[in-house]
Amino acid sequence: MIRIALFLGTNFAILLVLGITMSIFGVEGILDEQGVNLDLYSLLFISSIIGFTGSIISLMISKWVAKKTMGVVLIEQPKNATEEWLLITLEGISEKAGIKVPEFGIFNDKQLNAFATGASKNNSLVALSSGLVNHMGKDEIEAVIAHEVSHISNGDMVTMSLIQGIVNTFVIFFSRIIGHVVDRVIFKVQRGHGPAYYITSIIAQILLSILANIIVMWFSRKREYAADSSAAELVGSSKMISALKTLSLKSRVDLPDQMAAFGISGKEERSFRSLFSSHPSIESRIDSLLKNS
C-alpha cells in the first residue's frame, strides 16, 4: 500500500502543478476559441504530454520521495547480526530473481509493512518497517523480502507508470472538454476562457482522477497476486503463506476504519471501498497460493 500511495500522491501533485503551469502560460490555447468545438487531436496531444510527464517524473523520484516521506534509514554496513542477516537474505533473493541488489532500509513504524520502489530493476529500494523486523520470524521476513523483490523483478513500478500515464491523459482530456462545454454552453463565453472553465476543469480533473484510480487499483491488486506467486517460487509457498497469515493477524487490529480498505489485510474486499484498495484480501491471496502450489 505504501508504494502505491506514495506514487499516486506524487503523481497527483505533479499533475496539478503541470496543469496549472500550462494554463498560466497559455499552452491550452489549442482549444478552439471561436465556438463550442474543440481541436480534439491537439487537446489529446497536450493531454498526453502532461499525463505522461506526471507519471514519468513520479517514477524517477519515487525512491527519493519514499526515503524522505517514510524516514527510511539505509542499511549499508550492518551494525548487528539482524541487519547482517537481512542484507545477506536480500542479496541471495536478488541474485535468484536476476536483479541488481536494491538499496535496503528500515523505517520506524509499529505496523507490519514493507515496500519496494524505484525507477528500474537496477535502481530500486526495499524497505521494511521496524515492526515487521521485530515481530516476524526469519522465514516470514524472507518471504516478505522475496515479495518486494518480485515487484522489482516483475517491473511493476514501470508498468504502473505507463498505466498511470494513460489514465492521466484521459483524465486531463475529458476534464478540459467538460470545462470548455460548461464555459461555452452554460456561461455563454464566446472568446477565450472565463473563470468557469478553469474552476470546472480542476473540479472535473479531481473527480475523474478518483474514478480513474479504480483502474490503477485493479491493476495493483493483480500485481500483488503475481508478486506472491513469484515470491513463492523464490523461497517456497509455505513461507509466503505463513507471512500472509501473520500480516493478517497483526494488521486487522490497528488500522482505523477509514483506512481499512487500503490496508494489506483487505478485510473489506466485497464492499464498494474495495474498488479503491491497492491489495486484495489476505484470504484470497492465500487461496491463490494454495491453488498454485
Query: Which pLDDT belongs to residue 17?
Result: 63
User: Does residue 1 register a pLDDT over 60?
Assistant: no
Q: How far apart are CA 167 and CA 270, in angstroms?
A: 24
The set of cell numbers assigned to 256 is 482505523
Q: How far apart are CA 21 and CA 267, in angstroms?
A: 41
The residues annotated with a catalytic role in the active site are 148
- Tell me the domains of the chain and their CATH numbers: 72-155 (3.30.2010.10)
Q: 228, 288 in Cβ contact below 8 A? A: yes
The set of cell numbers assigned to 173 is 482530456
Query: Which pLDDT belongs to residue 40?
Result: 74
Beta-bridge partners for 107: 129
Q: Which of 221, 194, 282, 196 is nearest to 246 (CA)?
A: 282
Q: What is the pLDDT of residues 125-175, one digit of tens each?
A: 999 999 999 999 999 999 999 999 999 999 988 888 888 888 888 898 889
* pLDDT higher at 45 or 261: 45
Query: Which pLDDT belongs to residue 4?
Result: 59
Task: Say what the pTM is.
Answer: 0.80
Q: How far apart are CA 126 and CA 105, in angstroms?
A: 7
Percent of the chain residues topping a pLDDT of 70 = 77
Query: Which pLDDT belongs to residue 138?
Result: 96
Q: What is the pLDDT of residues 35-92, one digit of tens each?
A: 445 677 778 888 888 888 888 888 899 899 889 988 999 999 999 999 999 999 999 9
Q: What is the pLDDT of residues 180-235, one digit of tens each?
A: 888 888 877 766 677 888 899 889 989 998 888 888 888 889 999 999 999 999 99
Helix axes 2-24, 156-181, angle to 10 degrees: 40
Strands of 73-74's sheet in order across? 73-74, 103-107, 123-129, 114-120
Query: Which pLDDT belongs to residue 269?
Result: 47
Query: Which pLDDT belongs to residue 106?
Result: 96
Q: Could you tell me the CA-to-CA distances from 278 to 44, 65, 94, 224, 269 in Å, in that order?
A: 28, 19, 24, 8, 11
Q: Which of 155, 101, 153, 159 is nearest to 125 (CA)?
A: 101
Q: Which of 7, 5, 3 is nearest to 165 (CA)?
A: 7
Q: Could you tell me the CA-to-CA distances from 119 to 54, 60, 65, 123 in Å, in that order?
A: 14, 5, 12, 6
Query: Which pLDDT belongs to residue 9?
Result: 62
Percent of the chain residues topping a pLDDT of 90 = 39
